[in-house]
Structure 1
């Protein structure tokens, strides 16, 4: 699988879990960022095929980063992750252009199904 996937979460453990799930299923070209500010920089530098991004992060949250990335590249494919109870943020993310969302704690098959549905 060729397309780069940018994994964004302030928790290194969550990034590792997502990356491990993707690697086990053939997605090798993975990059990561620890907050929304770094995510925007990484997106502009790397132009990944897909971004999987947490909503709640320091420096710049996922919603702010989503809007900035979509302003830079309206065709960006972004999936948001959020904990239970953040429904209003999820709605805002979808309105702002997110392709989908994954609720934490997530199951590996849900992450995989979402990624495959968007980039194959």
Structure 2
């Protein structure tokens, strides 16, 4: 079973995504509400996959992505962005993000992204 770390500063978004991914057969091992927490939880749990919100307090998703990739170059991180954050998405992909999904979350798109990244 694929183990997952969900990162988003909005509890509602984490809850929504958690329900979608557990329904799809993924195991959520940890949830982070900012980039700093995500880096620490990644090092602790070594999940197979991370979903990473881009805009968060304390440390944004792109900074967290860079730190996770420095710790584990093989880390699989899917960035989550709101509409209109294309430049940040491009930046994230250049820094090693595996894929990106746009909010509001679409269950079919999430499954497609996870399968693509994990294959």
For normalisation by structure 2, the TM-score amounts to 0.95
By how many angstroms is 1:105 displaced?
A: 1.3
2:99, 2:117 within 8 Å by CA — same for their partners in 1?
A: no
Correspondence for 2:94 = 95
Correspondence for 2:108 = 109
1:65-91: per-residue Cα shift (whole Å, max 9, x none)?
000100111110000000111111000
Bigger drift between 26-35 and 95-104 goes to 26-35
Whole-angstrom distance in 1 between the partners of 2:103 and 2:28:
23
Runs of at least 4 residues of structure 1 off by over 4 A?
A: none
Whole-angstrom distance in 1 between the partners of 2:18 and 2:29:
7
Provide the secondary structure at the position in 2 that maps to 1:32.
Answer: strand
Correspondence for 1:18 = 17
Provide the secondary structure at the position in 1 that maps to 2:58.
Answer: coil
By how many angstroms is 1:93 displaced?
A: 0.2
For normalisation by structure 1, the TM-score amounts to 0.95
Whole-angstrom distance in 2 between the partners of 1:30 and 1:118:
18
Correspondence for 2:31 = 32
Whole-angstrom distance in 2 between the partners of 1:6 and 1:39:
8
Gaps of 5+ in 2: none
Aligned-pair RMSD on alpha carbons? Answer: 1.0
- Count residues in correspondence: 119
